[in-house]
Amino acid sequence: MKKILIVEDDQSIANLQRDYLELSGYSVKMVNSGSAGLKALKEEEFQLIILDIMLPDMDGFEVLKKVREQDDTPVLLVSARAEEIYKINGLGLGADDYITKPFSSGELVARVGAHLKKFERMKERFGKGSEGSSIQVRGLEIQKDARRVFVNGNEVVLAQKEFDLLLFLLQHANRVFGKEELFERIWGMDAMSDASTVTVHIARIREKIEETPSKPQYIGTVWGSGYRFMV
């Protein structure tokens, strides 16, 4: 049974979400603050998190940042704020979805099911258990151990950081990463450069792997947020 954590300070909303999810076959734990949510994540394993943005002790964005420092568990942000900037911030920090209140319980259950299935597919294809194998997505193949890349059977040569950046995005497929986070993950805090380096490397990778770099099918730009590998 899939286990879901609901972090919501409005008890009536949390109860409604719990009831519909349990009727759909999920196990649910509810907490009413960000700190309680982080504590629950240390003590138990969850397959998905439903996270409200407006919480009494810390906002959902701060909780999301701390979650993403630990794992890739799918996170669905929920909020009464419909402004685009909130959605951009949430997706940019690594949320898998953003649902605006009020929403139907049926929609919530459907989105939960869709993200759980997608996460399982991603783990099967890009999981840690396949470090020694190659990864194939449409016409692109990456041989991780050999550090080789093929497009439609033809090898393309990527520089070291280009390969590292492409592989990282691929292993976190469909997740949006900002330039600053990608720079920190690939180049490290002590790199003698800045986050604009990421933009340059993305452009170079697209030139090598995309049939039409201006209309990429692999590495997409999420305006205002960053980049993601599209599966």
pLDDT of residue 90: 84
Q: What percent of the chain has pLDDT over 70?
A: 93
Q: Using pLDDT thresholds of 50, 70 and 90, give the confidence band for residue 5.
A: very high
Please report, to the nearest 10 degrees, the dihedral formed by the alpha carbons of residues 14, 38, 180, 128 taken in order: -100
Backbone angles phi, psi at 24, to 5 degrees: -90, 5
What are the tens digits of pLDDT across the range 88-137? 888 877 788 899 988 888 899 999 999 898 888 766 665 544 445 788 89
Residue 30 has pLDDT above 50, yes or no: yes
Q: Which two tokens stand for residue 131?
A: 């470090």
- Residue 72 pLDDT > 60, yes or no? yes
**Which residues in 171-187 are b (16+ Cβ under 10 Å) and which e?**
bbbbbbbbbebbbeebb
What is the percent of the chain with per-residue pLDDT over 90, rounded to a whole number?
55
CB 74 within 8 A of CB 68: no
Query: What is the identity of the amino acid at 104?
Result: S
Q: For 131, how many CA atoms within 13 A lie in the half-sphere containing its CB?
A: 2
Residue 175 has pLDDT above 60, yes or no: yes
- Residue among 48, 51, 27, 47 at smallest CA distance from 37: 51
Does residue 142 carry a pLDDT above 80?
yes
Helix (H) or strand (E) holding 20: helix 11-23
Q: Is the peptide bond before 74 cis (omega within 30 degrees of 0)?
A: no
Can you tell me the mean pLDDT for 59-77? 88
Burial class (CB in 10 A: 0-12, 13-18, 19+), 218: buried
Question: Which tops the pLDDT comparison, 91 or 22?
Answer: 22
Average pLDDT over residues 207-219: 95
pLDDT of residue 224: 83
Model pLDDT, residue 87: 84
Phi, psi of 195 (to 5 degrees): -65, -20
Please say if the pLDDT value at position 83 is more than 90.
no
pLDDT confidence of residue 190: 47
Note the pLDDT of residue 201.
Answer: 93
Tell me the residue type at 59.
Answer: D
Contact 143, 134 (CB under 8 A): yes
The confidence score (pLDDT) of residue 189 equals 53
Predicted pLDDT at 23: 95
Average pLDDT in the chain: 88
Asked if 208 contacts 202 with a C-beta cutoff of 8 angstroms, the reply is no
State yes or no: pLDDT of 180 exceeds 70.
yes
